[in-house]
């Protein structure tokens, strides 16, 4: 094979590679962290203050997994208290797996989540309030 055919094959391979990369780029999905990103960014000081308050507690909230059941255990200061809040299971790579729950703890400070959460890696964004004080914490968990 002479050099003219080799050059033509090289250009064809290069063109096929470029077409493949362009098609691959157009089929990639890019998901935003939050639909109201700028609005939530302006409220970020509340997250910082809530994190500081949560760090002063005797312990942090603990998420445990037993089979298909996930259990939240609140710190001892939150037991037998009127506590309200939200728990947001954020999956960075698939927004269809994101779940948001209202905090409904029992008198022992626990809340049980059934098998409504799909397996995957999550960042649990947990904010709650008690007696007018807000708390915030984030946990990285993997649900099997």
Domain ranges of the chain: 1-30, 37-143
Where does the pLDDT of residue 117 fall: very low under 50, low under 70, confident under 90, or very high at 90 and above? confident
- The rounded distance, in Å, linking the Cα atoms of 10 and 4 is 10
- With a cut of 90, say whether residue 87 has pLDDT above it: yes
Close Cβ partners of 85 (under 8 Å, ≥ 6 residues apart): 102, 103, 126, 127, 128, 129, 135
pLDDT at 94: 82
- Report for 12-26, 68-82, 97-111: range of highest mean pLDDT: 12-26
Q: In terms of pLDDT, which residue wins out, 79 or 139? A: 139
pLDDT at 1: 73
Average pLDDT over residues 115-134: 88
* Mean pLDDT calculated for residue range 125-138: 90
**Statement: 37-143 belongs to CATH 2.60.40.10:** yes
Taking residues 1-27, report their average pLDDT: 92
Q: How confident is the model at residue 31 (pLDDT cuts 50, 70, 90)?
A: low
């Amino acid at each position: 094979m002479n050099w003219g055919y080799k050059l033509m094959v090289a250009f064809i391979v290069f063109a096929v590679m470029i077409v493949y990369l362009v098609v691959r780029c157009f089929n990639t999905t890019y998901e935003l962290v939050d639909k109201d990103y700028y609005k939530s960014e302006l409220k970020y000081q509340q997250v910082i203050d809530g994190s500081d308050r949560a760090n002063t507690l005797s312990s942090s909230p603990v998420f445990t997994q037993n089979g298909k059941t996930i259990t939240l255990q609140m710190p001892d200061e939150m037991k037998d208290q009127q506590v309200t809040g939200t728990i947001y299971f954020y999956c960075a790579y698939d927004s269809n797996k994101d779940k948001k729950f209202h905090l409904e703890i029992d008198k022992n400070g626990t809340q049980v989540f059934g098998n409504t959460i799909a397996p995957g890696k999550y960042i649990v964004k947990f904010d709650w309030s008690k007696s007018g004080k807000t708390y915030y914490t984030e946990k990285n968990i993997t649900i099997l």
